[in-house]
């Protein structure tokens, strides 16, 4: 699964925020996956738009689904990068 195409993303120096530009039929939408430390070894995770997403029609749904596939791939890759390497692999 990790060989699938995902959006290139930027990681902040704390490794808590992962941002990328989602390119779709209505233009570019800045997205973010973010971790917040709540207490020792407990994190909150948030994923979403950094700006308001435009309303789309049903005819654009197929293109949007491709965008979401890439977005979820980013989510999975950011989780793997955030946590210590699993089984000795670095992603």
| Reported pTM | 0.49
Domain segments of the chain: what residues? 10-82
Which of the listed ranges 17-21, 53-57, 58-62 does the model predict with the highest average pLDDT?
Answer: 17-21
> What are the pLDDT digits (tens) for 21-51?
988 887 888 888 999 888 888 888 888 887 5
Angstrom CA distances, 24 to 21, 27, 54, 67, 71, stand at 10, 5, 11, 7, 12
């Amino acid at each position: 699964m990790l060989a699938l195409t995902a959006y290139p993303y930027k990681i902040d120096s704390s490794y808590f925020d992962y941002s990328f530009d989602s390119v779709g039929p209505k233009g570019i939408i800045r997205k973010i996956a973010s971790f917040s430390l709540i207490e020792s070894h407990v994190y909150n995770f948030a994923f979403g738009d950094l700006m308001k997403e435009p309303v789309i029609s049903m005819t654009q749904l197929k293109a949007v689904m491709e965008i979401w596939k890439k977005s979820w791939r980013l989510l999975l890759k950011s989780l793997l990068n955030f946590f210590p390497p699993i089984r000795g692999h670095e992603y």
